[in-house]
Amino acid sequence: MDIELEKIYSGKVRDLYQIDVKRVLMVATDRLSAFDVVFDDVIPGKGEILTQMSNAWFDFFKDDIPNHFTGESVYDVLPEEQAKKLEKRAVVIKKLKPIKVEAVVRGYIAGGGWKEYQKTGMVSGIQLPQGLQLAQELPEVIFTPSTKAKVGDHDENIDFQTMSELIGNDLAQEVKSNAIHLYEKAAQYAKEKGIIIADTKFEFGIDENGVLTLMDEVLTPDSSRFWDVNNYQVGQEPLSFDKQYIRNWLESTGWNKEPPAPRLPQEVIEKTQMLYQRIYNLLFL
Ligand SMILES: Nc1ncnc2c1ncn2[C@@H]1O[C@H](COP(=O)(O)OP(=O)(O)OP(=O)(O)O)[C@@H](O)[C@H]1O
Ligand SMILES: [Mg+2]
């Protein structure tokens, strides 16, 4: 859709438009990326679900950490016609100075963490107990940062020491303790709704006063693993309401994870839509 603002960035999923020097319109599109490759096929409605879900979490955390919202709505910055079309997927945000590290938190061992653990017994430099099984709860929540790769590149796990060297020790500590706190608070909330949040990734930025601020998307099925408590069994691939379904399907096709991405069957698109809508409903309706 045409937006009468200058597009200043196009990520794998979100497009950023400049409102003025301090403010940005962030629009979540329906694009899908998996293994850092963007697909030709979109998941209709996904951007709206991601935005609504992030908004709900930002609100949930409003007393825990400042967030990137300016407090304005899309109606304040776009003509009414456009605002109407975009209101569910767009937000008006402060342009922050992004911290160039992804704040990954894990309460359970899965995904890339599981792969790394099987090879080395560690995740992001943290030694874990021997004999963990797939999807097992960790003895304590761990912080496993990764670098923020440019479009087309892959994020890379780094240890806390490396993160400290990149952004400074004090800031690294602050990011870590905030990320763990937010994860634990959300995980407790979700548990009451029958959902395990296995892991997630937060992004933070610094505002004009130097204050650490939560930004980007929060605890969505693109950035997190959500498992059904009732089907959860240690050692088994959990029933998940998130991107894992697509990743598993892709692995089953034998795709080498290099562009071009394969086309998605209609059935896979619809199942993804269903899973994304379902986790939103389970947590917030
Ligand atoms: N308040 C903010 N200020 C500045 N940048 C932000 C803010 N909120 C989000 N961003 C950035 O906007 C982009 C959102 O796009 P998207 O989520 O599609 O990116 P991505 O593909 O996940 O990551 P990237 O494009 O950075 O590799 C990210 O680069 C994110 O760091
Ligand atoms: Mg992103």
pLDDT at 260 over 80: yes
Helix-then-strand count for the chain, H and E? 7, 15
The third-level CATH classification (topology) of the domain covering 97-243 is D-amino Acid Aminotransferase; Chain A, domain 1 (3.30.470)
The third-level CATH classification (topology) of the domain covering 6-94 is Phosphorylase Kinase; domain 1 (3.30.200)
Tell me the percentage of the chain whose pLDDT exceeds 70.
Answer: 99
176 within ligand 1 shell (Cβ under 6 A): no
Beta strand spans in 44-121 (E): 90-94, 97-98, 101-108
pLDDT in tens, 7-41: 999 999 999 999 999 999 999 999 999 999 999 99
For residue 264, what pLDDT is reported? 98
Distance CA 183, CA 180 (A): 5
CA of 108 to the centre of ligand 2 (A): 22
Average pLDDT of the residues of the chain: 97
pLDDT in tens, 125-148: 999 999 999 999 999 999 999 998
Q: 40: helix, coil or strand? A: strand
pLDDT at 150 over 90: no
Q: 223: helix, coil or strand? A: coil
8 within ligand 1 shell (Cβ under 6 A): no
Q: What are the extents of the domains in the chain?
A: 6-94, 97-243
* pTM of the full structure: 0.97
pLDDT in tens, 30-72: 999 999 999 999 999 999 999 999 999 999 999 999 999 999 9
